[in-house]
Structure 1
Amino acid sequence: MKLESNATPATATVTGSRKDRMRKRRKRNAFVRFVRRLFIALCLIGTAAAVWAFFTPSGTQFRYLVADTLITTQHRHWAKYVIGEEELKRRVEAYNHRFEEMGQEEDLHEIAPVPEVEHKELVEIKPVSGNGYKGYLMIVNDPTKIRIVVPNRVGMGEKVSSMVSRTGAIAGVNAGGFADPEWKGNGFKPIGLVIANGKIYYNGLGSKKKVQIVGIDRNGKMVAGNYTLDEMEEMGVKEAVSFSPRIIVNGKGLVKNADDGWGIAPRTVMGQREDGAIMFLVIDGRQTHSVGANLYDCQQVMLDNGAVIAANLDGGSSTVLVKDNEIVNSPASKYGERYLPTAFLVFDDPDAVDVPNIWEGLDPSKIDPGKKIKR
């Protein structure tokens, strides 16, 4: 005898719907439990991270590293969320004071006379790398072949690659700093002083009697430190820009350790060996292939390569190295090269180079560094 089921199609449908609802409810409850557990886990991790960051020596060290790194970027104000606004002000003041101190010691280094016959290439470039950074060291074997070059158009800076191409230079790097409101400056208003071919091209010192400079004297000896205009004239400074700090003097490093290295960033550093060769260190940063370096890293690279004096130049998004009309490194700016007021360029015949003073007759106090220029 054949037995027939009591369930009608409608009853089976209702039963199936109930099972679907129960299945969905179980999934929803499981998801809610997962989210709740994840939230609790994140809270525990966040609490543990906060305890580590604010109540342990290693955590405090990490917070200051992050803050110092932010200070070197266009998001300097973010550092207050890491160490507090008052501590940020204190930190910046402490660095400024320390940088001033690092420029005070008398520089006693001497260089060998440039030989009349030199079999080395005028410019050599070699890659350098370290923990988290990559870059290049450009060696200029005759320091007297280096000149400061400035833009050729009133109202805006110029890319280093453009300066190299325009003047027929062999190579070049970015040099001094400039007023850069909200990191949108036109690159035309230098900070401090610009000296080219022994003449003052730009004087934005105001009432300041001393200024930190980085440059070269008439004999090719590198000059870096805190000096007055009279002292610079007596020293025979020929090419110079304002920037700091000096990180090596008389063959010894002035940056004590990585904690005093002013954060991680793209860097440009200038140094000199006893044989007179000038070295430009360019470190990429804020990129996957190279996060950047602190000043202690740069100091050690320069010492390892024989520097007896070295000083920091403008870095960050300005850092660039150009050789044979090609950009060698990878600038950090998302727009590529920045427009800058000064560059150290290398020439076969620097005396034949004409560098007009683009700031002649201008009042530094009336130059608008944030004026938008069509490019």
Structure 2
Amino acid sequence: MHDAASSTPAPAPAPGAPVGADQPAASPRRRLGTRARVAIAAGLVACTTAIGGVAWALDRFVVEHVEVVSASSLERAAGTAAVAAEAGTASATVTTETVGEGDDAAAVTTAILELDDITQLRSAFADDAFGENITELPSVIAEQVGASIAINGDYYGFRDTGIVIRNGVLYRDEGVREALVLYRDGTAAIVDETATSGEELLADGAWQTLSFGPALVEDGAVVGGIESVEVDTNVGNHSIQGDQPRTAVAVLEDGRIALVVVDGRSDESAGMTLTELASSLQGLGADVAYNLDGGGSSTIVVDGEVVNEPSNGGERATSDILYVVG
């Protein structure tokens, strides 16, 4: 009986080798064991999953998804840009003060706007484009639209939900949370997006909607339970509790508008809780007040200059601003 090795033909000499030169013995081929095959398969699945996860994350948080290339053109076509342009003049008083003491002290910048018409309070998208993951520094957006005063908005482009009406044009109609509605007649309201629609709000005279939250003040009273609110279930956007940098907008009882930015996460400014922010806005005379995107996004720009201290050490790119010209 011949063994397997002896029945295997000797390999041919390597090209150019002398005939009869010693050649390495042939190595018998081995089959991978079951465990090895399983391990390799698991590794391939893990790699595929990881690549798919990276692709998903890039698509979800990085890749731009442009739905409207030129929002300003759309607004001109709808006639709402002309409405804003003819609204009249605006004036503002901007102050920065320290609220609280010691480790709880916070730097608060407040712009009180006196507008001839609410349509002078406008919104602008990064790159003048509507969609997801389209971002630019607030000061750059403000410069592009000629804003005298601007704050970061609700960062609508981080998500694909929420009713988005800007400058009288409906861009998205996917209601999921409580929103602030600013109407053309100068009134404001907190609405449940799931109980209405963008078309209905537009028909009722909505000029701007902001979908972040929570509502801070309604009918002049601080809203209860705001410390337990989660804005979204998106990655990185769950809890907004504790002392944080904040941005908020309020309609005061006398009809003026307050844009408020609170610095935080630094030795100089601790930030504010939602309740502290709501109480501060109530003290300004807020009838309705609403929390916007905060943290590193909290920015206020006056005459082209960032006048607060963003917690990232500089501006963070965002998808939108609220602003006033004049």
Q: Tell me, what secondary structure is at the counterpart of 2:127?
A: coil
Cα offset, 1:140, TM superposition:
0.9
Amino-acid identity (%): 26
Tell me if the contact between 2:142 and 2:321 (Cα under 8 Å) persists in the aligned partners: no
Instruction: Note the alpha carbon deviations across 1:11-60, whole angstroms, 9 max, x for none.
Output: xxxxxxxxxxxxxxxxxxxxxxxxxxxxxxxxxxxxxxxxxxxxxxxxxx
1:316-331, aligned counterparts within 5 Å? 316-331=295-310
- Structure 2 counterpart of 1:273, which letter? L
Cα gap change, 1:218 to 1:315, in 2 (>3 Å) = same
Q: TM-score, normalised by structure 1?
A: 0.53
Q: Check if 1:146 corresponds to 2:136.
A: no
Cα offset, 1:237, TM superposition:
0.8
2:325 aligns with one of 347, 361, 373: 347
2:142 aligns with one of 164, 167, 180: 164
Q: Tell me, what secondary structure is at the counterpart of 1:301?
A: helix
Partners of 1:339 and 1:304 in 2: how far apart?
A: 31
Cα gap change, 1:235 to 1:153, in 2 (>3 Å) = closer
- Structure 2 counterpart of 1:318, which letter? S
Alignment partner, residue 18 of structure 2: none
The structure that is strand-richer by fraction is: 2
Cα gap change, 1:347 to 1:257, in 2 (>3 Å) = closer
Partners of 1:151 and 1:236 in 2: how far apart?
A: 25
Cα gap change, 1:125 to 1:190, in 2 (>3 Å) = farther
Alignment partner, residue 258 of structure 2: 279
Alignment partner, residue 107 of structure 1: none
Q: Check if 1:193 corresponds to 2:168.
A: no
1:86-125, aligned counterparts within 5 Å? 122-125=91-94
Q: Check if 1:269 corresponds to 2:238.
A: no
Partners of 1:123 and 1:341 in 2: how far apart?
A: 24
Cα gap change, 1:211 to 1:233, in 2 (>3 Å) = farther
Cα gap change, 1:200 to 1:179, in 2 (>3 Å) = closer
Partners of 1:252 and 1:161 in 2: how far apart?
A: 33
Cα offset, 1:193, TM superposition:
2.9
- Structure 2 counterpart of 1:218, which letter? R
The structure that is helix-richer by fraction is: 1
Task: Please give the root-mean-square deviation of Cα atoms over the aligned residues, in Å.
Answer: 2.6
Partners of 1:218 and 1:211 in 2: how far apart?
A: 22
Partners of 1:214 and 1:274 in 2: how far apart?
A: 16
Q: Tell me, what secondary structure is at the counterpart of 2:271?
A: coil
Instruction: Note the alpha carbon deviations across 1:123-169, whole angstroms, 9 max, x for none.
Output: 11112332321111111111331001111266631111011111111
Cα offset, 1:266, TM superposition:
0.3
Q: Check if 1:308 corresponds to 2:287.
A: yes
2:153 aligns with one of 171, 175, 179: 175
- Structure 1 counterpart of 2:191, which letter? G
Alignment partner, residue 225 of structure 1: 191
Paired positions, count: 218
Deviates more, 1:127-136 or 1:321-330: 127-136
Partners of 1:257 and 1:221 in 2: how far apart?
A: 23
Tell me if the contact between 1:177 and 1:191 (Cα under 8 Å) persists in the aligned partners: no
Tell me if the contact between 1:211 and 1:242 (Cα under 8 Å) persists in the aligned partners: yes
Cα gap change, 1:243 to 1:257, in 2 (>3 Å) = closer
Cα offset, 1:224, TM superposition:
2.7
Tell me if the contact between 1:255 and 1:295 (Cα under 8 Å) persists in the aligned partners: no
Cα offset, 1:343, TM superposition:
0.9
Partners of 2:325 and 2:189 in 1: how far apart?
A: 20
Q: Which runs of 5+ in 2 are unaligned?
A: 1-86, 230-239
- Structure 1 counterpart of 2:121, which letter? I
